[in-house]
Amino acid sequence: MMKTGRRGFITGMAGLGLFGAGGCITGGGVFSIGGRHPGEKLRFGVIGAGGKGFTDWTMAFKHGELPVAICDVDRREIDTSLEFLHKSGFDTSSISIYTDYRRMLDDQSKLKLDMVSVSTPDHMHAAQAISAMRQGISCYVQKPLVRTLWEARYFGKVAKESGCIVQMGNQGSAAHGHRRNVELLQQGVIGEVTEIYVWTDRPIWFQGDMAMKFSRNRPVHAPAALDWDSWLGTAASRAYPEDRPAGMKLPCRNQWAANILGVYHKFNWRAFHDFGTGAFGDMACHTLNLPFRGAELGAAVGAECQEQAEGNCVAYPSRSHVKVVYAARKSKARPGKELPAVTMHWYDGGMRPSDEKLAPIMKALGDDPQNGCVIVGTKGMMASLDAYGINCVVLMDGEKSPRSTKEHEACAESVVAPYIPRRKGTTENIGKDTNYEQVSELCEAIKGEGPVFRDTGSRCFSDVDYAVPIMEGMLVGCIAQRVPGALRWDSERQSFDSREANAMVRPYIRRGWEF
C-alpha cells in the first residue's frame, strides 16, 4: 500500500502547471494512489466506535467507503455499530472486531486498511494514529489531535515520513461560512489582528475538585463488557473506580452529562490530566479555529493562567482565564506583509471577557453564544456567533452596531474575492453536514481527488500542517493551567523556562504500549 507523499505530489503537480491563482489545484480527475482504480472504495477501520466515534465512522460509510474492522474497548459500542450496519443492509459477517487496536493493526496484512477513524480519549490519539500511519494508513483523528506537546511534534514527523493523509476532527472547518470568514481575516478586513478573546461554557462534566474526589472512589471490577486494560492504554495502571453517585447536579446549565455516571468511561475522562485536556482541549480546536487560521498564527512564545478555580494535581480547573502569546510572523495570504504578535485570552467554565473595549460588540452578542470569540484588529473587530466561526459579525472603528459579514460592504466579494475552495455539499448550517463533508474531504484526498489547500499543502483543510501548530499553542495553555506563573515556551527547542512545566511536555507511556 504505497502512498505518495504530500510534498512530492504537490511538487510534481506544480511542475505540470496545474495550480490556479487561488493556491489550489485546478481541474478534476483522479490521481491514482498505489494503483487505485476510479470509483474503488476505501477499506476503513474504526478505533473508537461509540459517541463521537459513531458520528465519524458512519460518515465514511455514508460516503460509500467499506468498513472492514471495528475496534472499541467497550463491546457494547461494537454491538451497537454492528446493529447499525445490519439495519443498513450491510453483511456484518465480513467485519473483524477487536477491543485492542494493536491487534487490529497486527492484522493489517489481512485487513489492508486505507484509513482509520480515531475517536477515543485524548491520551490514545497519538498512539493509535501514529501506529496506523507507520503502516501506511491515513487517519481521521478527533480533536484534539494529541494530548501532549511531545506527541504533537512526533505526530507531524511521522505523518510526513509516511506520506499519510490526516484530517483533524474540527468539523466546522468544512463550512462555507467558516472559510469565508477566514478569507476576510487573512485579507485584513479588520486590519492586523492584535488580540483574540475566546470563551466556552465547558466543562459540561465534573472537573476541578469534584473530579479529584471521584477519582478516589473505591476500586471495583470494571463492567464485563469493558476491556479496562485497553481503555487505559498508554496511561499508568490503576483500578477501575466505582461510579459516581446518580442525581448530582453539574455546575453549569447543561446537565445532560450528569447522567453519564462513570468516573472516566465513557465521557468524564476529559477532566483528568492523565487522559484528557480539559475544557481547553475539548473546545479550542473549534472556538480558536477561525482566529488561528484567519490571523495566520504560528508559534506560541508564552502563557500564563491569570485566574482559575479548583485546579489540582489530578484534574483541570473548573474555570479559568489563560493568556497565550503568539509570535510575530510573515503572512502567507499577503506575501511580504509582517504580522504583529498576538495575545489570545482563553476563558472556560462560563467565564467571559470583560475588557472595556469589547463592550460594544459583547453587548450586541448578549448571553449567547455560549462558545464564541472576538477578534480585535487595528481597524475593527469580528465576533463569531457560534463555536465554529461560521456565522460572524463585524464592527468597524467608528460604527455603532455590528453587522453580519454576509451583509457588511467591507466583506463583499467585490472587496475580498473568495479563494479558499468550498465543499460542494456544505451549507451555512452547523451539524452533521459539516461532519460528513469533513470526513468526505479526507476520503477524497486519499483517492487523490479535490483541491490542494494553500495553507496546508494538502487536500485536507485540517491536515497536520495546520493541526499540529494549533495544538501546540493550546497545549502550552493547558500546561499553564497546571503550573503557576508566566511561562516562556521555545517552540524550536520544544522547551519551557520551567522545570515543572518541562516535566509535562512528554506523556507517560506504559510498558507494552509504546508507539
Domains (range + CATH), the chain? 6-174+432-467 (3.40.50.720), 176-204+278-423+469-502 (3.30.360.10), 208-265 (no CATH)
Per-position pLDDT tens, the chain of length 515:
434 444 333 333 333 333 333 334 333 333 334 456 777 999 999 999 999 999 999 999 999 999 999 999 999 999 999 999 999 999 999 999 999 999 999 999 999 999 999 999 999 999 999 999 999 999 999 999 999 999 999 999 999 999 999 999 999 999 999 999 999 999 999 999 999 999 999 999 999 999 999 999 999 999 999 999 999 999 999 999 999 988 888 878 888 888 889 999 999 999 999 999 999 999 999 999 999 999 999 999 999 999 999 999 999 999 999 999 999 999 999 999 999 999 999 999 999 999 999 999 999 898 889 999 999 999 999 999 999 999 999 999 999 999 999 999 999 999 999 999 998 766 555 555 899 999 999 999 999 999 999 888 899 999 999 999 999 999 999 999 999 999 999 999 999 999 999 999 999 999 999 99
Identify the pLDDT of residue 289.
98
Q: How far apart are CA 234 and CA 508, in angstroms?
A: 7
**Alpha-carbon distances, residue 334 vs 11, 184, 453, 460 (angstroms):** 22, 12, 16, 21
Residue 152, pLDDT score: 98
At residue 251, the pLDDT reads 79
pLDDT at 425: 64
Distance CA 273, CA 479 (A): 10
> What's this model's pTM, rounded to 2 decimal places?
0.92
In sign, the C-alpha dihedral spanning 346, 197, 458, 49 is positive
| Per-residue confidence (pLDDT) for residue 36, from 0 to 100 | 66
Residue whose C-alpha is closest to residue 191's, from 378, 17, 445, 455: 378
Neighbours of 168 (CB within 10 A): 31
Which pLDDT does position 90 carry in this prediction? 98
Cell match 495544538: residue? 471
Find out whether 168 and 156 touch, Cβ atoms under 8 Å.
no
Residue 450 corresponds to which cell in the numbers above? 479535490
* E strand segments, 42-165: 43-47, 66-71, 96-98, 115-118, 138-142
Edge-first strand listing for the sheet containing 403-404: 403-404, 392-396, 380-384, 372-377, 193-199, 342-348, 319-326, 300-309, 487-490, 495-496
Q: Which residues pair with 489 in a beta bridge?
A: 496
pLDDT at 368: 85
- Residue 316 pLDDT: 98
Q: How many CB atoms lie within 10 A of CB 38?
A: 10
User: How many other β-carbons are positioned within 10 Å of the β-carbon of residue 87?
Assistant: 8
